[in-house]
Structure 1
Amino acid sequence: MAVIKIAIYQKNLHKRFTPDEISKIQQSKAHFLLLPEGYPHFFQSANPSDASKHEKEYQDHLLEISEKFSGVILGGSHYRTNEEGKLVSALPIVQSLVLVDFYEKKTPNPELDLGTKPGTTESIFIMGGLRFGVLLGDDLNNQSIWEEFQKENIEIIFHLDTSRKERTYEDDLNFYETLAKTKNIHLIRVCGPSDSIPARSLYASPSGINWKVGKVEEDKDVFKTLSVNVMRSYLL
């Protein structure tokens, strides 16, 4: 068994990290930092195609964090045109001032991800000595990804998400608790508040809800470092 330290930052999608906040991340000495779907989004963009023009600025801010934080950063998401010329929603993965890889969202949201194509990247990564799965937004409902996780015996999954107003706070807790128990996984979700959209970050495991933001924190920035015990996914 290994203990993995995972820092999650429930962060307003439109606000940069301050030097003090980056220092807080550095002091956590976590192995991973998770940022919400849609972070960073600093520019008023009419559509995903327009937003993709700011790709470098988004990535530069993640690299600012990486200057102080030596762990793996799963850096939210932004729109970009990939090597195949397709507009996608992509999750940049950064470590030690290097943009290591991208995870591309496989299940675009018809209302949010206008004009984007489903990604074709792998959903399973090995970094920081850990083998883990990644879900971005509506990928949570993609059955083929879950079949891949089950086939590969993935124990820990990071869900970078945007909360939906149609589910209540209690509905979200029940949904994730049931999902983690049914699939026997550690599922860590991070969201970011934006434009009155609630943020409901949490950690669900086979034993239930291990941590969650409170109802009064749905519209706030919240930083939390979790210690997660993994049996199968840690690589010596």
Structure 2
Amino acid sequence: MAVIKIAIYQKNLHKRFTPDEITKVQQSKAQFLLLPEGFPHFFQSGSPKEATKHEKEYQDHLLEISEKFSGVILGGSHYRVNENGKLVSALPIVQSLVLVDFYEKKTPNKQQEMEVQEGSTESIFIMGGLRFGLLLGEDLHNKIIWEEFQKEGIEIIFHLDTTTDLRTYEEDLSFYEALAKEKKIHLIRVCGSSEGKPARSLYASPSGINWKVGKVEEDKDVFKTLSVNVMRSYLL
């Protein structure tokens, strides 16, 4: 059994990391840093296509964090045109000042991402001594991805999300608790606050809810370092 340290930052999508916040992340000594779907979003854009103009600025801010934090940075997400010419919502994966890879969202939001196409990258990665699955937003409800996770025996899944109004705070907890128990997985969700929308980051495992932000923290920046026990590690 191995213990993996995972830092999550429930962050306002429109505010950059300050030097003090980057130092806080650095001092956590975590192997992973999870950032919410839609972070960083410093430039107001009228459409996903228009937002692609700011791809480099988004990535540069993640590289700025990577100057001090040596672990794997997952997220948040931004729009880009991939190598196949498709407009996708992409989750950048950064480590040691290198943009290593992208995870592309497989289930674009039908109301907000009409022009965005389905991504085609893998959903399972091995980095930082860990084999893990990635979900971005609505990918949580994608049965094909879940079938792949189950087939491959994935123990830990990172869900970079945007909270919706479909469920109450209590319903969200019950939903994730039941999902983690059903799938027998560690499921870590990180959200960001934006324009009055709540953020409900949490960690659910087969034993229940291990950690959650409180109701009074739904509109706040919250930094938390989690220690997760996994049966298998991959020392690369």
Question: Under a length normalisation based on structure 1, what TM-score does the superposition of the two structures give?
Answer: 0.99
Residues in 1 aligned to 2:217 and 2:113: alpha-carbon distance in whole angstroms: 27
Aligned-pair CA distance for 1:114: 2.7
Q: Quote the Cα distance in structure 2 between the aligned partners of 1:218 and 1:134.
A: 23
Structure 1: 5+ residue runs without aligned partners?
Answer: none
CA distance in 2, matches of 1:168, 1:107: 23
Q: Which residue identity does 1:55 align to in structure 2? A: E
Distance between the aligned counterparts of 2:166 and 2:109, measured in 1? 15
- Residue 214 of structure 1 is matched in structure 2 by 214
Deviation at 1:166, TM superposition (A): 1.9
Match of 2:74 in 1: 74
- The reply on whether 1:106 has 2:116 as its aligned counterpart is no
Q: CA RMSD in A?
A: 0.5
TM-superposed CA distance for 1:110, in Å, is 1.0
CA offsets 1:27-49 (integer angstroms, 9 cap, x no match):
00000000000000001100000
Q: Structure 2: which 5+ runs fail to align?
A: none
Deviations 1:130-178 (A, max 9, x none): 0000000000000000000000000000000000112100000000000
Moved over 3 A (4+): none
Q: Is the 1:94–1:100 contact (alpha carbons within 8 Å) kept by the matching residues of 2? A: yes
Q: Which residue of 2 aligns with 1:116?
A: 116
Match of 1:142 in 2: 142
- 8 Å Cα contact 2:155-2:186 kept in structure 1: yes
Q: Which residue of 1 aligns with 2:229?
A: 229
1:112 shift after superposition: 2.1
Contact kept, 8 Å, 1:47 with 1:114, in 2: the verdict is no
Partner of 2:163: 163
**Residue 106 of structure 1: SS of its match in structure 2?**
coil
The aligned length equals: 235
In structure 1, distance between residues paired with 2:122 and 2:3: 25
The corresponding residue for 1:57 is 57
Take 2:111 and 2:88, find their aligned partners in 1: how far apart are those partners? 14
Aligned 8 A contact 2:107 2:118 in 1: yes
What TM-score results when the alignment is normalised by the length of structure 2?
Answer: 0.99
